[in-house]
Every structure is written in C-alpha cells, then in structure tokens.
C-alpha cells in the first residue's frame, strides 16, 4: 500500500513539475519574443502590428476563453499567469443590438479609445477607456482591446452563468454579498467619471456590466459598441426614454447615495475644458484613416462591408452633440447629481431627435425584430425608407404626429 502511495505521489509531483516547466517556457517565450505596442507611441501602424503579434504569441503560449457576459462574441486572450491581456471582438460576431452595420461596433471601440487619448492629452482627464487596435487575430479582423484590471458587476450575467446546483446558488449569494460591500467603497467621483465618459461618446448604455471595478474601488468604462449612435439608435433612445441612470442604483440593490451627490468640481472643470470643435475635427480625421487602413479584401460573414456606413460622419457628430449637451447641463447646473444629469440628458436628447425619426422607429418596432444581423439589416432598411417617406410627405408626417 505504501509502495502504491509513494508511486502515485511521485507521479503527481512529476506532473506538477512538467506543468511548471511548461509555464516557465511559455513565460520566457512571451517575455522574450512578444513585442510591446507601447514602444511605438507615435506610430499607429507599428502599434497595430505589435498588438497583433503580441496577441498571437499570447494565444499560443498563454490561454484563451470566451467572455461570459455581453451580446457580441468576445475572446479573452490571457498571459501564462492567466491575466487577461486582450479582449478580441471579431467583426463577424458583433451584436445587431446597436443598429450599426457590420464592422460598426469594432470601429466604435477604436474611436472610444481615440477620444479617450485626445481628451487626456488636451485636458488631463483620463476616462480610463482601454486602448484599442483594429487588427487581425486568428484570421479574423476586429477590435483588440487592452486587458485591464477589475471585474464587472453584471447581475444578469451572474444569474445566467450560475451552475444549476446548490453550489451554484451558494456562489451567486456569496458574490452578491461581496458586491454589496464593494459598492459602498466606490467613491461617487469614480461613478461620475464613468458616466461622463459614456455621455462624451453618445453612449447611454451606462451600466455595471459595462464597467470594471478593481479592489481599490477604481472604475473604468468598457464596451463602446453602442457609442457614436446611428440615426436609428437615437430614435430608439428617444422613443424608449433610455435615461443613462443605471449607475445611480446598485447592481443588485436600490438607490445609491452616490447617485445624488453633487458632481465633483475638479471632474466637472476638466470635462468642461474639452474643446468639442477640435475634438470633432480629430475624430473625423481618424475615422477616415481607420477606414482607409482596413484590409482591401475584408469580408464580414462572407460579404464585403459597406465601409462608409460602418461609422459614418453623422454618428461621430452625434457623439460630439452628446458631449455638448452634457457640457451645457453641467454649466447650467454646476452641482447636479448623476441622477439629475441623466434625467436632463434624456429630456434634451428627446428634444433634439426629429419627431419623424421617432415615429418611423415606432412603426418599425411594432412590425420587426432584430435578434440577428440579417434581421437588423431589414429593420435598418425599413427605417431608412420610412424616414425618407416622412421627409418627402409633410402631410403624412402631420397626420402621424396628431395620431
């Protein structure tokens, strides 16, 4: 018996030694041969190439997994120490929920990164949005998003990913208690910063699942796929009254005191210092560069994409308009809270979106669904026709409005 135990123990030790040796070799290969994108701060092409190569090396010698939350396909690329180095969002796996054409979500992720860097360089305000490169991974083109510390507090993802067992229920309850404690330690300024970051990009999908929180209570926004909204997306936001107020409540609890605290004065000052005209010029120029740099033979789900519509100029300017609306509210109400800002924001947006667009969306919403990209295309085409019909037929527009 002792002889068998010793043999089993020796076999286990040998297996552990082999695993440790493999990890050591993987770490050596990653450290020695993996390029650092940050070594090329002034060369966007070199940054992209270095990011692609680093992600490929990590995928081979580290680990990969699929993200548990979200509606788009996301591959997590990890280091040998199992830390997330990149989140890769292929264009072919984008969700249809944001009303952007195929490839539009990846373009928006990149533009959020561009906006973050430009605001940081000109005002010193760091929203914390991760750096993003558009590139190729495993033969697919998409957004390679820098991995950052922290975890989301996505109650929906927690529930649907829980194991259907007593142990799974125990883990859910343990996590909920942990979140309840952690939320109380987050300073109001951190939540305000995430909210302002999203509104600066025209993204009303401000929620706990689109934000990473680290152990120190620092918060960073993620998931810019719904930023820089399309005309149809703006119509939906207006029609549904989608106020960006979800951070005013906890992920699993009611109202948070932080939601009613006045805006941090220093944060407000930095946000108001953003030059919207200069920022718009920069974003439009970068949009053009990014479209021109895409592979000429790019296919998304077997089809050549409509590059100009991936992220059109109107969507970029819609993001700028959202930023200007938020600045106006902060100037008029210097001590406003997140809750007040959210309500005034949706009121201002509803006043700005043409009534004809909202009515066209309402008619489409009653007759179409867009749970797949093909159905989203049909929905968008119908919306465009409806809007065109409204613009060309004032009589129909007045009848619809009176109804």
Q: Residues 123-140: pLDDT tens digits? A: 999 999 999 999 999 999
Tell me what pLDDT residue 9 has. Answer: 62
Q: DSSP per residue over 189-211, as a string?
A: HHHHHHHHHHHHTT-----GGGE
Q: 151 lies in a domain?
A: yes
Confidence of residue 400 (pLDDT cuts 50, 70, 90): very low
Q: 121 lies in a domain?
A: yes
Q: 384 lies in a domain?
A: no
Average pLDDT over residues 239-259: 93
pTM of the model: 0.85
Burial of 309 (0-12, 13-18, 19+ CB in 10 A): middle
pLDDT tens digits along 184-238: 889 999 999 999 999 999 999 999 999 999 989 999 999 999 999 999 999 999 9
Q: 80 lies in a domain?
A: yes
Q: 371 lies in a domain?
A: no
Q: 360 lies in a domain?
A: no
Q: Is the pLDDT reported for residue 297 higher than 70?
A: yes
Q: 154 lies in a domain?
A: yes
Average pLDDT over residues 358-376: 77
Q: Is the pLDDT reported for residue 13 higher than 70?
A: no
Tell me what pLDDT residue 395 has. Answer: 42
Count of all residues that appear for the chain in the document: 403
Any idea what the Cα angle at residue 281 is, between residues 224 and 228, rounded to 5°? 25
Measured CA to CA, the distance from residue 383 to residue 372 in angstroms comes to: 16
Confidence of residue 385 (pLDDT cuts 50, 70, 90): confident
Q: 5 lies in a domain?
A: no
Residue 40 backbone phi and psi in degrees, to 5: -125, 65
> What total number of domains does the chain contain?
1
- What is the extent of the structural domain holding 82? 37-353
Tell me what pLDDT residue 95 has. Answer: 82
Of 244, 329, 238, 324, the residue nearest 279 (C-alpha)? 324
Helix (H) or strand (E) holding 142: strand 140-146
Measured CA to CA, the distance from residue 90 to residue 239 in angstroms comes to: 30
Q: What is the mean pLDDT of the chain?
A: 86
């Amino acid at each position: 018996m002792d002889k068998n135990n010793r043999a089993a123990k020796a076999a286990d030790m040998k297996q552990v030694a082999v695993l440790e040796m493999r990890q050591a070799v993987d770490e050596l290969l990653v450290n020695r041969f993996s390029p650092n994108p940050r070594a090329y701060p002034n060369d966007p092409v070199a940054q992209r190439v270095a990011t692609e190569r680093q992600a490929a090396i990590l995928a081979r010698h580290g680990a990969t997994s699929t993200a548990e939350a979200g509606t788009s396909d996301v591959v997590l690329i990890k280091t040998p120490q199992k830390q997330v180095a990149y989140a890769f969002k292929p264009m072919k796996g984008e969700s249809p929920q944001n009303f952007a054409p195929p490839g539009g979500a990846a373009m928006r992720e990149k533009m959020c990164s561009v906006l973050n860097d430009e605001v940081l360089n000109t005002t010193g305000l760091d929203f914390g949005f991760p750096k993003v490169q558009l590139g190729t991974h495993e033969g697919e083109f998409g957004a390679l998003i820098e991995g950052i510390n922290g975890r989301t507090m996505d109650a929906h993802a927690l529930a649907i990913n829980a194991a259907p067992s007593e142990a799974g229920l125990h883990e859910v309850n343990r996590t909920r208690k942990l979140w309840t404690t952690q939320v109380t330690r987050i300073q109001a300024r951190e939540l305000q910063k995430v909210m302002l970051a999203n509104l600066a990009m025209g993204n009303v999908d401000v929620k706990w699942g689109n934000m990473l929180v680290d152990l120190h209570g620092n918060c960073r926004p993620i998931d810019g796929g719904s930023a820089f909204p399309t005309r149809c997306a703006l119509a939906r936001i207006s029609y549904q009254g989608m106020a960006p107020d979800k951070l005013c409540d906890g992920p699993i609890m009611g109202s948070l005191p932080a939601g009613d605290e006045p805006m941090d004065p220093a944060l407000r000052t930095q946000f108001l210092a953003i030059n919207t005209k200069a920022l718009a010029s920069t974003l439009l120029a970068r949009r053009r560069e990014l479209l021109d740099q895409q592979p000429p033979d790019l296919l998304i789900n077997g089809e050549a994409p409509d590059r100009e519509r991936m992220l059109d100029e109107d969507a970029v300017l819609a993001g700028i308009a959202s930023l200007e609306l938020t600045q106006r509210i902060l100037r008029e109400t210097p001590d406003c809270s997140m809750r007040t800002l959210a309500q005034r924001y949706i009121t201002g947006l509803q006043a700005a979106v043409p009534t004809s667009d909202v009515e066209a969306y309402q008619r489409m919403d009653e007759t179409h669904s867009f749970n797949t990209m093909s159905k989203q295309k049909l929905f968008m085409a119908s919306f465009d026709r409806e809007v065109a019909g409204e613009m060309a037929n004032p009589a129909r527009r007045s009848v619809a409005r009176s109804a």
